[in-house]
Structure 1
Amino acid sequence: MTEPVTPKIRTSAKAVILHNGHVLLMRANWDDQDCYFLPGGGQHPGETLGDAVRREVDEETGLTVTVERLLWLREYIGAHHDHPVREATTHRIEAIFLCTPTSDPDQLGGHAEDEVQTGLEWVPLGKVPALSLLPRAIRQPIASLAEAPAAPDSYLGDVA
């Protein structure tokens, strides 16, 4: 008899960094596909989510940012999505923050990039819905920040 799988919950912080109508995205090659992700990553024990997003953005992009506010809270429970067996132990909770750069936005280059990261790109907000940005559920909400930067905070739920 197979033992039931118990996922460990991983908390992380992601950044929607806006500058002049563009959002900073991390280009990546993940699961043999070229795609984009928001900068950010795992929270360390004893670290606030705000501190985690600032640290991760610095590591992956070289930017220092001001955390403006929480935009969305997203969960991802792997057993509910495309690869339920392979991701049976995956359960992530991501706090997605609106951030603005406080260092030169043209000087990009992190010192601890993710292994899947292939580059960084400032993308016009209007082009975000057509990108292979993961998770798919945040494409339109990010693009809508061009018209309504003061959108209310929301819980996105368990989305891919």
Structure 2
Amino acid sequence: MNEPITPVIRTSAKAVVIHDGRVLLQRAAWEGQDCYFLPGGGQNPGEPLDETVRREVHEETGLTVRVDRMLWLREYIGAHHQNAATEAGTHRIETIFACTPTSDPHQLGGHHQDDLQTGLEWVPLDKVTTLNLLPHALRQPIAALASTTPPADYLGDVA
């Protein structure tokens, strides 16, 4: 009989970096598909989430950013989604922040990019819904930033 899997909770911070009506996205090759992700990553013990997002954005993109506000809180509990058999031990909690570049937004190139990352791209906000941006649940809320400032929101357990 298999032992039940106890998920390990991983906290992270992601950035919605906006400049001139465009959002900065990482291009990636993941599980055989070309896709996009928000820059950001895992929180270190003792590190506040706003410091996490600044550090991760700098590592992955080369940009320094100002953290403006929290936009959304997202969870992903692997056992509840499509790949439940292989991701039963996954439980991620992501805080997603609105950020503004404080360094030259045209000088991109991080010193510690994610293994899956294939590039960086400034994408017009009105084009985000047409992309394979993962998780898909973020496409519409990010695109809506072109016309409104939403209240901070809990997005729930979304893939």
Please, what TM-score do these two structures have when normalized by structure 1?
0.99
Aligned to 2:79: 79
The match for 2:50 is 50
User: Cα distance, 1:12 vs. partner?
Assistant: 0.1
**Aligned-pair CA distance for 1:82:** 1.2
Query: Structure 1 stretches of 5 or more lacking a match?
Result: none
Question: Could you tell me which residue of structure 1 aligns to residue 157 of structure 2?
Answer: 158
Return the alpha-carbon distance in structure 1 between the equivalents of residues 85 and 54 of structure 2. Answer: 33
Matched, 1:21 2:27: no
% identical aligned pairs: 71
* 1:13, distance to aligned residue in structure 2 (A): 0.1
Whole-angstrom CA distance in 2 between matches of 1:92 and 1:102: 28
Equivalents in 2 of 1:80, 1:50: separation in Å?
Answer: 28
* Over 3 Å off, 4+ runs: none
In the alignment, what sits opposite 1:66? Answer: 66
Aligned length: 159
Displacement of 1:66 after TM fit? Answer: 0.1
- Alignment partner of 2:155: what SS? strand
- Measure the CA separation in 2 of the matches of 1:122 and 1:63: 13
Displacement of 1:5: 0.3
Please, what is the CA RMSD of the aligned residues? Answer: 0.4
SS of 1:146 mapped into structure 2: coil
Give distance in 1, aligned partners of 2:90 and 2:153. Answer: 22
1:99 aligns with 2:117: no
Matched to 1:147, the amino acid is S
Q: Aligned equivalents of 1:82 and 1:104: distance in 2?
A: 40
Distance 1:34 1:79 in 2: 24
State the Cα distance separating 1:151 from its structure 2 match. 1.0
- In 2, distance between residues paired with 1:87 and 1:30? 15
- Cα drift, residue 122 of structure 1: 0.1
Q: Where does structure 2 lack aligned partners over 5 or more consecutive residues? A: none
Q: Which residue of 2 aligns with 1:121?
A: 121
